[in-house]
Amino acid sequence: MAERKPPDSLERLDARLEEARRRQPDGRSRGVETEGMSAFGFAWRVGLELISALVVGVAIGYMLDRWLGTRPWLLILFFILGSAAGLLNVFRMTSGLGGAVGHGKGPGGRITEARTRADDTDEE
Amino acid sequence: MAAAGTDSPLEQFKIEPLIPIHLGKLDLSFTNSSLVMVVALVLITSLLLVGARPRALVPGRLQSVAELAYEFVANLLSDTIGEEGKRYFPIVFTIFMFVLFGNLIGLVPFSFTFTSHIIVTFALAFSVFIGVTILALARHGLHFARFFVPPGVSPALWPLLIPIEIISYLSRPISLSVRLFANMLAGHTLLKVFAGFVFLLGFAGFFPLAFVVALSGLEFLIAFLQAYVFAILTCLYINDALHLH
């Protein structure tokens, strides 16, 4: 039966595939299996973004202090700047811009979506 | 920790020099970590070479795996960067396979997980960071500086905002490397801790054993996921460097 008219059935399969692809929200096929853990993963990632910017800020402040001999002041200044950068990272992450730098609009929805996908596949 | 040190859950992360090599003050010994990295490279290369050899229209098992990996990374690139991203396939594919095989080999009992060492993941993330910065500089020259200037903000605020942007940019390799390293370290330590409970609890050790089995499954998922996250973030950084906004 199937052998008698393979072109037809293949074409129908193609049409069905095409329809299924259109129904599927773009790019949502991967990375959804961790939905249950995503809240925890999200919280973990917020902490990571905050801390990593803070570490960079403190390191810069400490090294500039040692270099310029202005003991505590630059460390304090860069501690504050680092916290601000950490909050900026978190803000970008939650607004779907991922680790992007710059305030402008992302170059397209595709990228924003890929970023949110990268966000919610993160865990532990 | 444990008295003998041999039954500590952190024992698995110990680096042991196999062939000591000392150049001046540098310790370049070939360690168990290097050995596993070489094993990973050999496995990746042989998977691709052996897998691609039949060139069958209907692929066999090995060829399917090789093609799956190839298509996965190719789709990742076209999803995040677009047509232009094809040029960066080799680097992203290399990073993805290296991290993935590092994670997977670590799941083999008595082996070593090189991705659970911060220096390895940081070296990877930092090379990505340097490469992306050079790419942005080569593409945009001095326009790259506009990367750090938020548009629509009065110049009076620039002295405050530009350092914040720069710190935010510099924090990328740290968050990228810590994410992979912490996931692998935490997962493997947890596995060992619960495996230790199995013997301590005697008959009731069945429960931690069941947990270890479930956790091993989860570790496989995390091994893939973290390689994926590492690769997709690399893609996003490349995309940022190509299209400054």
Residue B60 lies in a domain: yes
Q: Per the CB < 8 Å rule, is B236 touching A101?
A: no
Option in B79, B167, B169 nearest A60 (CB): B167
Q: Which tens digit of pLDDT belongs to each residue from A7-22?
A: 567 778 888 878 877 7
User: Number of residue pairs across A and B with CB atoms under 8 Å?
Assistant: 115
A118 in contact with B at a CB cutoff of 8 Å?
yes
H-helix or E-strand containing B102?
A: helix B89-106
Residue B6 lies in a domain: no
pLDDT value of position B29 = 87
Kindly identify which residue of chain B lies nearest to residue A60, measuring between CA atoms.
B167
pLDDT value of position A7 = 57
Cα dist from B85 to B82, B192, B232, whole Å: 5, 41, 12
Q: How many Å lie between the alpha carbon of A86 and the closest alpha carbon of chain B?
A: 7
Q: What gap in Å lies between CA A12 and CA A49, rounded to an integer?
A: 49
List of E strands, chain B: 17-19, 22-23, 26-27, 30-31
Q: Per the CB < 8 Å rule, is A53 touching B240?
A: no
List of E strands, A58-122: none
Q: Which tens digit of pLDDT belongs to each residue from A78-95?
A: 999 999 999 998 888 887
Residue B10 lies in a domain: no
Q: What residue numbers bound the domain in which B99 lies? A: 16-242
pTM, 2 dp:
0.78
Query: Furthest-apart CA pair in chain B: how many Å?
Result: 70
A114 in contact with B at a CB cutoff of 8 Å?
yes
Exposed/middle/buried for B204, CB within 10 Å: 0-12, 13-18, 19+?
exposed
Q: Which tens digit of pLDDT belongs to each residue from B123-171?
A: 999 999 999 999 999 988 888 888 888 778 888 888 888 999 999 999 9
Option in B163, B176, B232 nearest A81 (CB): B163
Domain total in chain B: 1
A102 in contact with B at a CB cutoff of 8 Å?
yes
- Decide if the complex's ipTM is over 0.85: no
Q: Is the pLDDT of residue A67 over 50?
A: yes
Q: Per the CB < 8 Å rule, is B236 touching A111?
A: yes
Mutant choice from B80, B164, B237 vs A, greatest count of A C-beta within 10 A: B164
Q: Is the pLDDT of residue B177 over 70?
A: yes
Q: Is the pLDDT of residue B51 over 50?
A: yes
Residue B181 lies in a domain: yes
pLDDT value of position A111 = 46
Residue B7 lies in a domain: no
Q: Per the CB < 8 Å rule, is B232 touching A102?
A: no
Cα dist from B76 to A22, A30, B197, B232, whole Å: 19, 11, 41, 7
Cα dist from A55 to A59, A82, B125, B238, whole Å: 6, 7, 16, 24
Residue B130 lies in a domain: yes
